[in-house]
Amino acid sequence: MKTIIEPFRIKVVEPIRMTTREQREKILKNAGYNLFKISSDDVLIDLLTDSGTAAMSDAQWAGIMSGDESYAGARSFYRFRDKVQEITGFKHIIPTHQGRAAERILFGLLSRPGTYIPSNTHFDTTRANIEFQGGSAVDLVIPEAKDTQSLHPFKGNMDIVRLENFIQGVGADHIPLCMLTITNNSGGGQPVSMENIRQTKNVCQKYGIPLFLDACRFAENAWFIKLREPEFEHSDCKTISREMFSYADGCTMSAKKDALVNIGGFLAINDDELAMQARNVLIVTEGFPTYGGLAGRDLEAIAQGLEEVLHEDYLAYRIRTVEYIGEKIDRDGVPFLKPTGGHALYLDAARFAPHIPLPQFPGQAIACELYLEGGIRSCEIGSIMFGKTDAKTGKHIAPPLELVRLAFPRRVYTQSHFDYVAEVITEVYRNRENLKGYRFTYETPYLRHFTAEFEPVPS
Ligand code: F0G
């Protein structure tokens, strides 16, 4: 077996700035030890997110030039719509400026107090949009998802028994829709099997509940199905995607992930009445239905990106990259969420730095040290992002997993960048006893991870 190489050559380059550890110590201190507050110019390798950070192809840039900027009926809209329909099969395709705009329109119409929206795991913006309208977002992923060392091949699966019990418990009338996030970002970029999508569909159908996919990373999910579900070994990823979408009544999509663009999204719906209502909201808040908050050139780039993302040499390289870095750090005993998922490596911070108590944020200690050691920006997904303080006792309530996410921008970094990242992680792990906890010096009540400031806890 030969090395799986980057299936592209590089036509445009963007320099990255080297800094010294001494400089980074100052930069981090000035940012209140919050990596969201650092200028990207001060980051060497930016693994904060895989969202909107892809490198576009020459064909996508050509699309940017040929985009039709007409207000109504733009040629670029039709190309976009036809491509989305070719892959998803949905009837109504509604462009939005990004994924959460599609969520806001959908849940503005369907979520209200007394409703419940079950999912394998809702992403934060999905949960926020449901709860903002007064509904309840419910996560029903299989129990294996909570064990970072379980090698279950589809750790993003819905727990079908819990789903059915839940529907019977609250009553189908209170469930306007059910969702599946493919792949399951909050649970480690883990895929959902075709079998599980079919089973979820069967339960939904039995109770007359529509099923929607949060399809941001649908192509990565399709590739895992091809690799891990024998039935699909010989199917191509477009056919697999078509089948995944065929079980759903609609989807929300952030094109900033698997459409390989820097901005964009869409809402797709089969139901005529719901689509009409969604377009009405779209016109009020996003724009006319043939551009929906995007420029014509963005629609061109999305249409082209959706074609490219399903190329199997791209998907093989994409998923192999995450697996490759996982194999490297595994040899040095670094604890991480296994098996590696689609778009990111998730370090298991609780095992990595067990000497730091959870209320002192072991994930943050690791994320800060990855920056100090190697200029790498990652993201704590643990007690800072999802932890709470008990109002009565003042005690810290930790989320189920304490993780640090290193998300991989698409087609941006090469193998030697990832070799470097593995070296830095290993070095930080080797010196893990020196890691110190952090405490807040400034904290806001909502989404505190974006704006909080910290200081190291003296030993
Ligand atoms: N759903 C999932 C599963 C996501 O991962 C995201 C974004 C969204 C919806 C919202 O899409 O950003 O276009 O509004 N995830 C990014 C991340 C921000 O870093 O994981 P958006």
Lowest mean per-residue pLDDT among 220-229, 344-353, 442-451: 442-451
Mean pLDDT of 186-199: 96
Instruction: Among 129, 254, 267, say which to mutate for ligand 1: greatest number of ligand atoms within 8 Å of CB.
Output: 254
Name the residue with the closest Cα to ligand 1, atom 2: 123
Convert the pLDDT of each residue in 100-115 to its tens digit.
Answer: 999 999 999 999 999 9
Instruction: Among 96, 125, 447, say which to mutate for ligand 1: greatest number of ligand atoms within 8 Å of CB.
Output: 125
Residue 232: pLDDT over 80: yes
Q: Return residue ranges of the chain for CATH 3.40.640.10.
A: 58-308
Query: Which atom of ligand 1 is found nearest the CA of 125?
Result: 10
Name the residue with tokens 């209320």.
359
Between residues 445 and 339, which one has the greater pLDDT?
Answer: 339
Residue 391: pLDDT over 90: no
Name the residue with tokens 């998922």.
341
Query: Which atom of ligand 1 is found nearest the CA of 98?
Result: 13
Distance 99 CA to ligand 1 centre (A): 6
Q: In terms of Cα–Cα distance, which of 108, 87, 86 is closest to 96?
A: 108
pTM for this entry: 0.96
Return d(Cα 374, Cα 145) in angstroms, integer. Answer: 30
Q: In terms of Cα–Cα distance, which of 324, 263, 406, 273 is closest to 4?
A: 324
Convert the pLDDT of each residue in 305-314 to its tens digit.
Answer: 999 999 999 9
- Reading the block at residue 31, the tokens are 């940012």
Distance 68 CA to ligand 1 centre (A): 27
Per the document, the length of the chain is: 459
Check if CATH label 3.40.50.300 holds for domain 58-308.
Answer: no
Distance 254 CA to ligand 1 centre (A): 6
Residue 459: pLDDT over 80: no
Convert the pLDDT of each residue in 48-99 to its tens digit.
Answer: 999 999 999 999 999 999 999 999 999 999 999 999 999 999 999 999 999 9
What pLDDT does 445 receive? 76
Query: Which atom of ligand 1 is found nearest the CA of 181?
Result: 3
Distance 116 CA to ligand 1 centre (A): 21
- Count CB-CB contacts under 10 A for residue 9: 5
Convert the pLDDT of each residue in 241-297 to its tens digit.
Answer: 999 999 999 999 999 999 999 999 999 999 999 999 999 999 999 999 999 999 999
What pLDDT does 446 receive? 74
Distance 41 CA to ligand 1 centre (A): 23
Name the residue with the closest Cα to ligand 1, atom 18: 51
Max CA separation in the chain (angstroms)? 64
- Reading the block at residue 113, the tokens are 């107090």
Q: In terms of Cα–Cα distance, which of 403, 316, 313, 292 is closest to 358?
A: 403
Distance 29 CA to ligand 1 centre (A): 28
Residue burial 260-274, b: 16+ Cβ < 10 Å; e: rest: bbbbbbbbbbeeeeb
Cβ-in-10-Å burial (0-12, 13-18, 19+) of 217 comes to buried
Lowest mean per-residue pLDDT among 116-125, 268-277, 386-395, 426-435: 386-395
Q: Return residue ranges of the chain for CATH 3.90.1150.10.
A: 21-50+312-456
Instruction: Among 49, 51, 182, 262, say which to mutate for ligand 1: greatest number of ligand atoms within 8 Å of CB.
Output: 51
Name the residue with the closest Cα to ligand 1, atom 15: 51
Distance 122 CA to ligand 1 centre (A): 10
Query: Which atom of ligand 1 is found nearest the CA of 48?
Result: 19
Query: Which atom of ligand 1 is found nearest the CA of 183?
Result: 3
Distance 2 CA to ligand 1 centre (A): 34
Distance 51 CA to ligand 1 centre (A): 7
Check if CATH label 3.90.1150.10 holds for domain 21-50+312-456.
Answer: yes
Q: CB-based contacts of 404: which residues, under 8 Å, 6+ apart?
A: 346, 347, 349, 352, 363, 366, 367, 370, 378, 379, 380, 381, 382
> Which of left, alpha, beta for 444 (phi over 0: left; psi -120 to 50: alpha)?
beta
List ligand 1's pocket residues with C-beta within 6 A. Answer: 49, 51, 98-100, 123, 125-126, 181, 185, 214, 216, 254, 256, 265
What pLDDT does 448 receive? 87
Instruction: Among 256, 294, 380, 410, say which to mutate for ligand 1: greatest number of ligand atoms within 8 Å of CB.
Output: 256
Name the residue with the closest Cα to ligand 1, atom 11: 99
What pLDDT does 353 receive? 97
Query: Which atom of ligand 1 is found nearest the CA of 49?
Result: 19
Return d(Cα 44, Cα 82) in angstroms, integer. Answer: 39
Distance 259 CA to ligand 1 centre (A): 13
Return d(Cα 81, Cα 149) in angstroms, integer. Answer: 41
What is the distance, to the nearest Å, from the Cα of residue 353 to the centroid of all Cα atoms in its chain? 25
**CB-CB contact of 183 with 257 (8 Å):** no
Return d(Cα 292, Cα 286) in angstroms, integer. Answer: 5
What pLDDT does 247 receive? 98
